[in-house]
Structure 1
Amino acid sequence: MEEKKKLDLVSIASVPLVMTLGNSMLIPILPVIENKLKITAFQSSLIITVYSMIAIILIPFAGYLSDRFGRKKVIIPSLIITAIGGLISGLAAMLFEQSYLLILLGRFIQGIGASGTFPVVLPLIGDMFKEDRKVSSGLGLVETSNTVGKVLSPIIGAALALITWYTPLLAIPVFCLVSLVLVFFLLKVPKQQEEPVPLRTFFKNIKEIFAKKGRWLYAIFIIGCILMYVLFGVLFYLSTILEENYQIEGILKGLILAIPLLTLSLASYITGKKIGENKLLMKWVTFSGCLLLTCTIFAISFSESIYLLVGGLIFSGIGIGMALPCLDTFITGGVKKEERGTVSSIYSSMRFIGVALGPPLFAMIMKYSHQTLFLTTAAICIIASGFALISIKPKRNYNPALSE
């Protein structure tokens, strides 16, 4: 990694860290919110889902704007909007007894801001480095920052909730402010070498990209969606049963939730360092990660033991952590710079769809049985493994974007 770009990478890495904290930090306190606001598990899951759903819709527009006007010019306003949404949710919870709808409104505004943050970070890394090896390493750092946020978020969320149940909501604008300062002062974006592509030409180019390379692009979109669905669904399920079945609350609960996320973070960091420019290796690492996830989720379905559940989720985290940096590298290295932001943003939208669907669908399916929940989840993971095996077909050290 170039020495002069270390500060830039620190500022970039702060964005996914803050966005993850702003969402995942709420997962361990959802049961507390249910009790305080007298709402159902499904209603509490919407606090996660409404944030993701609006982001899904707006992410492609943010991607185009970042291609058209520059990454930094999109990231900074997006961080400000995210902070405003967090402030609305936090103040509503603090000032009003029946604050559920206002909290959802604040989360909706946060989702608007989130659409122009992490999804723009991925193409920005691709802009900063010319060599695939450095791009892979930079993306590994971003995914690590993202997953470190996931590791810390249940612990921080549980710890802040010891002050008051709404303190995690009030902390979100503070985290956004820190990232905003880092990006504003430290990030030096590469100068745009060419005139922005006109809108009509841009959409024509995007259409041609999907006509020529849709097979592997669609596969990566679907795999990313499934991985996030499993991750956030399982975290929601684990958070619920720890409190309801085992009366485990507070920081201890946060620490247990952090265990599988820690293995995900380590696997993501190591994978980003090791895959380099070898696209064939990336394909097999992606497939292996999806297969490991499938096997562990399948094994979990046969027992409700908390030890098997947490142990299985450790290996699930490794599987997801193996796949994510490979998917990021395929996306950022797979299209031209002028379309990179939009294609990356569509990929990010698919990941957000997984985040949005995970908690509410798990809340509905878990009413039937533990085995039904995890067998259906394992079946979905098989789909991800199949796409990784069949639809991604690069040659060694060969960019799949160049294959027709």
Structure 2
Amino acid sequence: MASIPLVMTLGNSMLIPVLPIFEEKVGVTSFQTSMIITSYSIASIFLIPIAGYLSDRYGRKMVILPSLIMSLIGGLIAGFASWKMNDPFTWIIVGRVLQGIGAAGAAPIILPLVGDLYKDDDEKTSSCLGTIETSNTFGKVLSPILGAAFAAFLWFLPFFSISFFSLISILLVIFFIKAPKNTDKPVEIKVFLHKTKDIFKKQGKWIFTVFLVGAYVMLVLFATLFFLSDYLEKVHDLHGVLKGFVLAIPLLFLCIASFITGKKIKGDLKLMKWIMMFSLVTMSVAVAFVGFTSEQLYLLLAVTSFVGLSIGALLPTLDALITENIEKAERGTISSFYSSSRFIGVAAGPPLMSVLMKDLLNQTFIGAGILGGVILLAVIFFIKGKSSDKSPKAEAMPAH
């Protein structure tokens, strides 16, 4: 299961350190290169909820496998276009959209699958989710190093490597994932829509707060990574694999925090809320200083590492809140909406940063810190940290 978010993360984050190379080789602008990340994410945003519904109706594995195959095909299209065509940009985007479609039906379905496998054990669920989120974040650590190494050999090799990694994950899913059979009668679309609407009506405050935090942290993460990729090369004169290793430093802290948090939360709502509040405070403060330290490499890495630590603590906590507090029949759908919200942040981060960092760098990061403070208020008011009749856990249970 952990191979799937790893592959999907490599499929996106691996391209960030080589975007300046694409800009030079393909002859496009910084904003256009940001579309290589954004096109992948936009395709995922709209299709993830559909994939979630299909996985609830037809089974998790039946959705995951075709999605991984789609990702493999998308990588081949982008790679061959870059290799053989004089003006490959359009076909690169086509390949990236196909990969985004594949991502929509692969990584987000893992969250409800974990809930299915460990439905009666919150501790095992939290631990497994922590491992999977760590795999996701470990992919982010590996991504800049692998991407830079592949691009140093052939600038378009990262596209082909995504197809190779997708093939490995396909084989692992076929042979090693034994998804529990869904013995329930498939839910009709009208009933499904009514139930989904009812969930949002009854539990919408805490669910939308989780969605908002998910979108925010991914917006900050990918905007910061895009900024770092550009500044490490143009301001600090770091290139190739060395740049990849430096870019991986904040992501390593993210990975460590994600692993530790996943092991510690164990379904404890009170602890989850405290982690969310503390992480949002540290993240909001740290991100506000990124622009001011942009020309001092060691300070820049220190500040962005604090951002990474905060995001790493938040991600498994958000996963656990969604997975452990929604009933199985609707788990795929709600977790897919959550994944879509995260992809909104991924899609918006690079193009926003490509436009704003030229003239409004400090203001952009200060604004991100202020936004984090506003979102912190939503967490304080709408995420309940105890088992009461208003807590997510209690609200997820049917009334007696």
State the TM-score, normalized to the length of structure 1: 0.95
Q: 1:400 aligns with which of 378, 392, 400?
A: 392
**Matching residue of 2:59:** 70
Q: 1:356 aligns with which of 325, 347, 352?
A: 347
**Matching residue of 1:115:** 104
Say whether the 8 Å CA contact 2:49–2:333 is kept in structure 1: yes
In structure 1, C-alpha distance between the alignment counterparts of 2:363 and 2:6, rounded to whole Å: 33
Say whether the 8 Å CA contact 1:278–1:396 is kept in structure 2: no
**Matching residue of 1:389:** 380
Q: 2:13 aligns with which of 24, 31, 38?
A: 24
Check if 1:190 corresponds to 2:177: no
Structure 2 SS opposite 1:247: coil
In structure 2, C-alpha distance between the alignment counterparts of 1:80 and 1:125, rounded to whole Å: 22
Q: CA deviation at 1:382?
A: 1.7
In structure 2, C-alpha distance between the alignment counterparts of 1:396 and 1:60, rounded to whole Å: 29
In structure 1, C-alpha distance between the alignment counterparts of 2:232 and 2:292, rounded to whole Å: 18
Matches within 5 A, 1:237-276: 237-276=227-266
Q: 2:157 aligns with which of 146, 149, 167?
A: 167
**Matching residue of 2:225:** 235
Structure 2 SS opposite 1:191: coil
Q: CA deviation at 1:247?
A: 1.6
Q: Deviations over 1:299-333 (max 9, x none)?
A: 33433322221111111111011111111111011
**Matching residue of 1:310:** 301
Of 309-318 and 176-185, more deviation after overlay is shown by 309-318
Check if 1:179 corresponds to 2:144: no
Partner amino acid, structure 2, of 1:402: A
Matches within 5 A, 1:320-399: 320-396=311-387
Say whether the 8 Å CA contact 2:112–2:332 is kept in structure 1: yes
In structure 2, C-alpha distance between the alignment counterparts of 1:210 and 1:133, rounded to whole Å: 26
Q: 1:91 aligns with which of 52, 57, 80?
A: 80
In structure 2, C-alpha distance between the alignment counterparts of 1:277 and 1:95, rounded to whole Å: 51
Q: Deviations over 1:136-156 (max 9, x none)?
A: 111101100000000000000
CA RMSD across the alignment:
1.3
Q: CA deviation at 1:29?
A: 0.2
**Matching residue of 1:5:** none
In structure 1, C-alpha distance between the alignment counterparts of 2:8 and 2:321, rounded to whole Å: 23
In structure 2, C-alpha distance between the alignment counterparts of 1:316 and 1:165, rounded to whole Å: 30
Check if 1:103 corresponds to 2:103: no
In structure 2, C-alpha distance between the alignment counterparts of 1:76 and 1:183, rounded to whole Å: 7
Partner amino acid, structure 2, of 1:164: L
Partner amino acid, structure 1, of 2:21: V
- Long gaps (5+) in structure 2: none
Partner amino acid, structure 2, of 1:338: A
In structure 2, C-alpha distance between the alignment counterparts of 1:358 and 1:321, rounded to whole Å: 18
Q: CA deviation at 1:277?
A: 2.1
Say whether the 8 Å CA contact 1:287–1:323 is kept in structure 2: no
Give me the identity figure in percent.
48
Of 23-32 and 278-287, more deviation after overlay is shown by 278-287
In structure 2, C-alpha distance between the alignment counterparts of 1:353 and 1:229, rounded to whole Å: 8
In structure 1, C-alpha distance between the alignment counterparts of 2:179 and 2:388, rounded to whole Å: 28
Partner amino acid, structure 2, of 1:388: V
Q: CA deviation at 1:396?
A: 4.9
Partner amino acid, structure 2, of 1:236: F
Say whether the 8 Å CA contact 1:119–1:344 is kept in structure 2: yes
Of 353-362 and 372-381, more deviation after overlay is shown by 372-381
In structure 1, C-alpha distance between the alignment counterparts of 2:209 and 2:250, rounded to whole Å: 25
Matches within 5 A, 1:289-300: 289-300=279-290
Q: CA deviation at 1:397?
A: 9.2
**Matching residue of 2:32:** 43
Q: Deviations over 1:8-61 (max 9, x none)?
A: xxxx00000000001100000000000001111000000000000011010000
Say whether the 8 Å CA contact 2:289–2:303 is kept in structure 1: yes
Matches within 5 A, 1:210-229: 210-229=200-219
Q: Deviations over 1:64-86 (max 9, x none)?
A: 00000000000000000010011
Q: 2:275 aligns with which of 281, 285, 292?
A: 285
Structure 2 SS opposite 1:63: helix
Structure 2 SS opposite 1:248: coil
- Runs of 4+ in structure 1 displaced over 6 angstroms? none
Q: CA deviation at 1:369?
A: 3.3
Say whether the 8 Å CA contact 1:286–1:323 is kept in structure 2: yes
